[in-house]
Amino acid sequence: MRYLLRRRKRLCLGHGDAILLQRHGDAVGSGIRTRDVVSDPALMARLALDPSRQLIGAHCSGTLVSAKLGLLGSVPACTDLTTKPWVQETGVEVLNQPFYANGNVATAGGCFASPYLAAWIIARTEGLGAAAEALHYVAPVGEKEAYVENALRNLRPHLPAESLANGIKRRAPQGITTRLYACVDKAPDNADAIGACLSAEKAAQTERLDRTYKTLLGTLNGKANDALVSSEQAWQDFHTRTAAFETAIYGKGKLDDLQRLENEIFRLSERANALDKYLAAKGH
């Protein structure tokens, strides 16, 4: 699944300038007329931003807007080199780095730092795995692994702590075993160890699906029996074709392998869940 930041409302401020307003967070954009914007009390008064209930991200000269609104306080910030002295005039310390976040407020400096800001919003709302996937999708071919790792290195210190196991659990359908989460929690922080945990869970979900299918099949006869066999064959074909499709669209790195494996486990579990519901309807 690819994650996009939807522009719910756009308020044009002049050539090259915009404030992008969203439902759960506000992204303060950058442009050549930002100094005119912050000098307009009526316009600034329209920007009702509240970090207690929103994620607020500012990019380049958008940091100046955030500073003028009092959103940064004594917290240091990032911005581009042109805007730097104007932000410093507000009393805010400007850091020599591309990204910084404190609580629900983040700032980024430099045009190529904008993916960090977008990834931070995705990570805060959808999880770090979703942010990594989005970054991987837009990263230059041949540099994807290094690009994602560098971006995550900038993001991780500014994110609330969430274990990998909790991230998987948040995404997972019902039926995933607690053994998977325990295994991931104890595993070293490398792809091979996590892959071993996922492979064990895949075997468990495959066995669960096979057991549930055979149990349900034993409760049916005649046309219902034939229909279940046909349905399961169709699902297995879908499962195989989906795996082939994901092999084609994902890369060949270890992170891609883990994503494919997680997707496969979730599909197996969801199919077993569906058959469990049919069993329950039969009184089992």
Q: Please tell me the predicted confidence (pLDDT) of residue 11.
A: 28
- Separation between Cα atoms, residue 178 and residue 223, nearest integer Å: 37
Q: Please tell me the predicted confidence (pLDDT) of residue 46.
A: 85
Q: Please tell me the predicted confidence (pLDDT) of residue 91.
A: 94
pLDDT over 60 at 6, yes or no: no
- Separation between Cα atoms, residue 265 and residue 208, nearest integer Å: 11
- How many angstroms from the chain centroid is the CA of residue 209? 29
Could you tell me the two tokens for 124?
A: 């805060």
Per-residue confidence at 84, pLDDT binned at 50, 70, 90?
A: very high
* 249-284 residue pLDDT tens: 888 888 889 999 999 999 999 999 999 999 999 876
Q: Please tell me the predicted confidence (pLDDT) of residue 112.
A: 92
Residue in 100, 138, 140, 97 with CA at minimum distance from that of residue 120:
100
Q: Please tell me the predicted confidence (pLDDT) of residue 29.
A: 56
| Residues 134/190, Cβ–Cβ less than 8 Å | no
Domains defined along the chain, listed by start: 9-158 (3.40.50.880), 165-281 (1.20.1270)
* 216-233 residue pLDDT tens: 999 999 999 999 999 999
Could you tell me the two tokens for 115?
A: 């993916």
* 179-205 residue pLDDT tens: 999 999 888 778 899 999 999 999 999
For 155-159, what is the mean pLDDT?
88
Which of 3-17, 141-155, 182-196, 226-240 is predicted least confidently? 3-17
| Residues 176/265, Cβ–Cβ less than 8 Å | yes
Q: Please tell me the predicted confidence (pLDDT) of residue 27.
A: 55
Residue in 155, 30, 177 with CA at minimum distance from that of residue 101:
155
Q: Please tell me the predicted confidence (pLDDT) of residue 52.
A: 86
For 226-251, what is the mean pLDDT?
95
| Residues 266/173, Cβ–Cβ less than 8 Å | yes
Q: What are phi and psi of 136, to 5 degrees?
A: -60, -35
Most confident of the ranges 4-8, 121-125, 164-168, 185-189: 121-125
C-beta neighbour count of 231 within 10 angstroms: 14
Q: Percent of the chain at pLDDT above 90?
A: 59
SS3 category, 139: coil
Q: Please tell me the predicted confidence (pLDDT) of residue 40.
A: 82
What rounded mean pLDDT belongs to the chain? Answer: 85
Q: Please tell me the predicted confidence (pLDDT) of residue 234.
A: 98
Q: Please tell me the predicted confidence (pLDDT) of residue 284.
A: 67
